[in-house]
């Protein structure tokens, strides 16, 4: 039990050290020694947990995605009709709480691999939800679910990059979610100020 707590503390210290150092210096410039020193652990201890800094970054990203998935499940479950905006609001709230982890992933550090993992995981989950929602409602999607999911996730990631870029978000999460829900329901033409064509 004490060993488990110690392991968790060590891994958390390494995670936190990586995030802080990437924000300060960028991923490419970091060494394992830098991370171990910031985490106040021996280099050998680092290697007892991770193969290298890339492995640590992959774990930080996977943990972020696992936490996001757990938070999204209640917001998605039972969502029978269209878009509610609840999953998007939960995503924004999570990003607000974990701003630094989102920043290092979304800005493409680590040769873009963590960002690609984030995009692929979110797109797969979103496509599956779109398929299930269409089935529950007895509708046939007009656009392929995988393509639609990539578009939807791409828009969200672009907004998240902008929204997490500074220490203070440019607008409240609830306002961003409301506007993106309107965009999802009414479309870009309406959002740009035009009335529907006759």
Same domain, 74 and 130: yes
> What CATH number did the domain enclosing 11 receive?
1.10.10.60
Q: What Cα–Cα distance (Å) separates residue 190 from each residue in 109, 177, 186, 194, 195?
A: 36, 17, 6, 5, 6
Cα–Cα nearest to 101, from 139, 51, 57: 57
60 in any annotated domain:
yes
Domain that holds residue 37: 1-50
Per-residue pLDDT for the chain (198 aa), expressed as one digit of tens each? 666 888 899 999 999 999 999 999 999 999 999 999 999 999 999 999 999 999 999 999 999 999 999 998 887 765 556 667 888 899 999 999 999 999 999 999 999 999 999 999 999 999 998 898 888 888 998 999 999 999 999 999 999 999 999 888 889 999 999 999 898 888 888 888 998 776
Contact 52, 31 (CB under 8 A): no
Q: Say which residues have a Cβ less than 8 Å from residue 18's Cβ, sequence separation at least 6.
A: 30, 35, 53, 56, 57, 60
> What CATH number did the domain enclosing 130 receive?
1.10.357.10
In the numeric block, which tokens belong to residue 94? 């999570």
Look up the pTM and report it: 0.89
Contact 105, 118 (CB under 8 A): yes
């Amino acid at each position: 039990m004490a060993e488990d707590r110690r392991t968790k503390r060590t891994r958390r210290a390494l995670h936190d050290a990586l995030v802080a150092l990437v924000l300060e210096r960028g991923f490419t410039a970091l060494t394992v020694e830098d991370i171990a020193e910031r985490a106040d652990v021996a280099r050998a201890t680092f290697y007892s947990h991770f193969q290298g800094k890339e492995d640590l970054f992959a774990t930080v990203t996977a943990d972020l995605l696992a936490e996001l998935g757990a938070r999204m499940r209640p917001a998605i479950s039972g969502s029978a009709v269209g878009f509610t905006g609840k999953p998007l609001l939960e995503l924004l709230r999570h990003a607000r709480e974990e701003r630094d982890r989102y920043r290092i992933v979304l800005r493409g550090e680590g040769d873009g691999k963590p960002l690609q993992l984030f995009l692929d995981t979110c797109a797969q989950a979103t496509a599956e939800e779109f398929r299930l929602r269409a089935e529950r409602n007895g509708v046939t999607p007009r656009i392929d679910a995988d393509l639609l999911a990539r578009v939807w996730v791409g828009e969200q990631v672009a907004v998240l990059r902008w929204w997490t870029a500074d220490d203070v978000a440019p607008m409240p999460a609830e306002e961003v979610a409301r506007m993106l829900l309107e965009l999802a329901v009414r479309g870009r033409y309406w959002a740009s100020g035009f009335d529907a064509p006759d």
